Amino acid sequence: MRISVLGAGRWGAFLARYAWSIGHKVSLWGRCGSVDFQELQNNRVNDYLQLPEEILLTDSLATAVAHGEIILIAIPSQQLRSLARQLATLRITRKILVLCMKGIEIDSGKRLSQVVKEEVQSPLDVAIWVGPGHVQDYMAGIPNCMVIGSENISCTKMLVEALGSELIRLYYGQDIIGNEIGAAAKNVIGIAAGILDGLQYSSLKGALMARGAREIARLVRSMGGNELTVYGLSHLGDYSATLFSPYSHNRAFGEGFVKGECFTKLAEGVYTAKALHALAKRYELELPICTAIYHTIYETRDPNQVLLDFFLRPVKFEF
């Protein structure tokens, strides 16, 4: 099939190479002036991989869209609405958009699939691709499992068949709400894990995982999703890659934050913490972990005290 990848960062470049490696014709779009894309254009390499000559590199969004039957989008979540507005001006009818990023729009609190559907009125399918996995592990040949889902089961099945392999085994994920919220929220839990590492409280990660999953399950249920989805690959199943891996940007951000170190790479959980704080108010829910991370990052409260207050809250039934 013809696949276009929009976004030339770490994950987008990997997806382009991966799609090529399983037999598809691939184009990769990057913004003109993007440092990441310029490096790929000049040398076809970045810090993680080398791109084969067969992959078309272009800074023309129209060219990339015209090339792809399936369009994979891997850009920072807060840039999605702007990109979707550009896509709406192009001929994308009957194409399939697959959102390969995790986040919630800060201003609206909307899921990323909602953002796309608001801006793009053409008849098309919108899917999500979420779950655990780091480029470094995949490039080393270490397999993992991920989830693809949409509101159209025929579309989901086609994508799983077209994009699955021995390296990435794909599962159907029909609960879009649960998978999108779960995937975005795990990055906030990842920041909390990094803060615990930085404070030498790593032993509390077990409690963090147990209570974090339950907290997000309540939110998913309130938003109309299936709370059990949170215990699947999009959230709990991604905890190992996000809370423990040295490659996790969100964990690294949290650890660096409490150590006073500057972290220059994208940590989506920073934005998601703000969005979840707003959603907690909207749905009148207690999200103690997410609230603690919000207070730590945006209100500069002492992370040591904030997290200790959370773990030392009054005793209550776990569930």
Known catalytic membership, residue 186: yes
Is 111 in contact with 139 (CB distance < 8 Å)?
no
- Collect all residues with Cβ–Cβ distance below 8 Å to 305 and sequence separation of at least 6: none
Q: Which of 95, 102, 110, 186 is catalytic?
A: 186
Place of tokens 């000559």: 53
Question: Which parts of the chain fold into alpha helices (H)?
Answer: 10-21, 35-43, 61-67, 80-88, 112-119, 135-139, 153-163, 176-198, 205-222, 239, 249-259, 269-282, 288-298, 303-311
* Closest to 34 (Cα-Cα) out of 51, 46, 25: 46
88 is written with which tokens? 């709406």
Helix, strand, coil percentages (3-state) for the chain, rounded to 5, are: 50, 15, 35
What SS3 state is found at 302?
A: coil
Positive or negative, the Cα torsion across 265, 305, 307, 185?
Answer: negative
* Closest to 133 (Cα-Cα) out of 296, 15, 284, 268: 15
Positive or negative, the Cα torsion across 264, 267, 270, 272?
Answer: positive
What SS3 state is found at 34?
A: coil
* Closest to 105 (Cα-Cα) out of 268, 227, 250: 268
Cα 250 to Cα 271: distance, rounded to the nearest angstrom: 11
205 is written with which tokens? 């990660």
Query: What is each CA distance from 8 to 28, 64, 65, in whole angstroms?
Result: 7, 12, 15
> Which residues carry out catalysis?
186
